[in-house]
């Protein structure tokens, strides 16, 4: 192997802006050896570096039975201890390749429903849920610190309660900071952002940016581009209001006609889909290029590739993954272009040193 020095004048891996990819897990016991921390993720990370990524997001899941459950199970298809070791190895693999790593503890609702609609009938139930959530997040904060992760999410799409319970969130963030020394963020849904009570306690305004880029079908690329730039203007105002940078913690579009009109629609629930790779590519570039041109936006994470690069079991062909589609070379071109935030502030609080990039012999 050749060791390549990370020289800011020659490598985007030294740039300040985040060019990130979210790596989805493959945790099924029916597919051993292809999930997080395996030879498959090593190969995937090599490919993501080639595409131009300089950061990855990892998503360990906890499990809720329903939107009103008050218990969170740490096991999710794989036993917790097995998943924990796999994520430790994946972080090591990523750092070995010069990639920054964000750990994003997610919640899966077994009986269906969106985590942003979690609700409880009374104060006692909310208290029980919040205690369970505290334990879940602090466990992954401890793990992320031990494994040297660069950033941690304290929540994902907590729309139903990020605008309430201010003392709880303040105390939770204080506890997390005692466990984890890197950057902290919340992945707020795009229509949640203005209601979050505690941005001032975090390091980034993190947004799952599934903004609609048109109001009706068959819109032109010019319409997509204009809507994306309008979004960035509003985010610049939000950044100025809170004196805090913005990171688009998820951007992505399914591979179907008019995907950018309602980009949040989940592919598993779709029928009679008209597959359209061109739509995915143009929508992804519109939002990505607009973000890259806005100095207050420190970058983005694309939703998503899977731990096994060529897996076809996790989502339908019309899903979010750009792999093997027209969107992939478009994404790579975007990641290799300049970002306005490249010359700005660092995205990483208390950034940890990372090893030199490993590349194959030529």
Give the model confidence (pLDDT) of 76-103 as tens digits. Answer: 888 999 999 999 999 999 999 999 999 9
Under the banding of pLDDT at 50, 70 and 90, the label for residue 310 is: confident
Integer distance in angstroms from the first to the last C-alpha of the chain? 9
- CA torsion 315-104-20-307 (nearest 10°) is -40
Q: Poorest-confidence range of 112-126, 224-238, 242-256, 305-319?
A: 305-319
Q: Which residues contact 107 (CB under 8 A, 6 or more apart)?
A: 61, 62, 63, 64, 72, 115, 136, 156
According to CATH, the topology of domain 2-359 is TIM Barrel (3.20.20)
Choose between 13 and 191: higher pLDDT. 191
Cβ(64)–Cβ(49) below 8 Å: no
Q: Does position 10 have pLDDT exceeding 80, yes or no?
A: no
- In whole angstroms, give the CA distance from residue 254 to residue 278: 11
Cβ(179)–Cβ(138) below 8 Å: yes
How is the chain split into domains, by residue range?
Answer: 2-359
Place of tokens 């950018």: 260
Tell me the pLDDT of the chain averaged across its residues. 91
Question: What are the tokens at 224?
Answer: 């997509």
**Whole-number pLDDT of residue 266:** 83
pTM metric for this prediction = 0.92
Alpha helices, DSSP H, located in 37-165: 39-51, 80-96, 123-147
**Whole-number pLDDT of residue 355:** 57
Question: What are the tokens at 304?
Answer: 């998503």
- Nearest Cα residue to 206 out of 187, 189, 231, 183: 187
pLDDT digit string, tens, across residues 32-60? 889 999 999 999 999 999 999 999 999 99
**DSSP reduced 3-state for 42:** helix
pLDDT digit string, tens, across residues 182-221? 999 999 999 999 999 999 999 999 999 999 999 999 999 9
Question: What are the tokens at 237?
Answer: 């105002």
């Amino acid at each position: 192997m050749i060791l390549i020095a990370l020289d800011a004048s020659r490598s985007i891996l030294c740039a300040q802006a985040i060019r990130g990819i979210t790596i989805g897990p493959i945790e099924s016991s029916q597919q051993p050896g292809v999930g997080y921390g395996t030879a498959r993720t090593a190969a995937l990370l090599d490919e993501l570096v080639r595409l131009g990524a300089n950061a990855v997001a990892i998503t360990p899941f906890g499990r809720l039975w329903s939107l009103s459950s008050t218990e969170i199970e740490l096991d999710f298809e794989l036993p917790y201890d097995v998943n924990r070791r796999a994520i430790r190895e994946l972080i090591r693999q990523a750092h070995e390749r010069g990639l920054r790593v964000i750990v994003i503890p997610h919640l899966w609702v077994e009986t269906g429903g969106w985590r942003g609609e979690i609700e409880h009938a009374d104060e006692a139930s909310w208290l029980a849920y919040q205690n369970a959530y505290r334990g879940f997040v602090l466990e992954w904060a401890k793990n992320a610190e031990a494994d040297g992760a660069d950033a941690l999410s304290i929540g994902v799409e907590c729309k139903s309660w990020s605008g309430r319970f201010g003392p709880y969130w303040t105390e939770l963030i204080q506890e997390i900071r005692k466990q984890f020394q890197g950057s902290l963020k919340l992945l707020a849904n795009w229509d949640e952002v203005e209601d979050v009570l505690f941005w001032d306690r975090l390091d980034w305004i993190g947004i799952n940016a599934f903004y609609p880029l048109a109001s009706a079908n068959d819109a032109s690329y010019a319409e997509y581009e204009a809507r994306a730039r309008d979004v960035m203007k509003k985010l610049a105002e939000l950044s100025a209001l809170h004196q805090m940078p913005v990171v688009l913690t998820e951007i992505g579009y399914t591979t179907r006609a008019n995907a950018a009109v309602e980009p949040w629609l989940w592919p598993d629930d779709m029928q009679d889909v008209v597959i359209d790779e061109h739509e995915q590519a143009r929508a992804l570039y519109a939002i990505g290029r607009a973000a890259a041109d806005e100095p207050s936006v420190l970058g983005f994470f694309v939703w998503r590739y899977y731990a096994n690069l060529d897996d076809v079991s996790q989502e339908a062909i019309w899903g979010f993954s750009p792999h093997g589609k027209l969107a992939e070379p478009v994404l790579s071109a975007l990641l290799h272009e300049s970002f306005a935030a490249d010359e700005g502030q660092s995205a990483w609080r208390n950034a940890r040193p990372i090893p030199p990039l490993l590349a194959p012999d030529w």
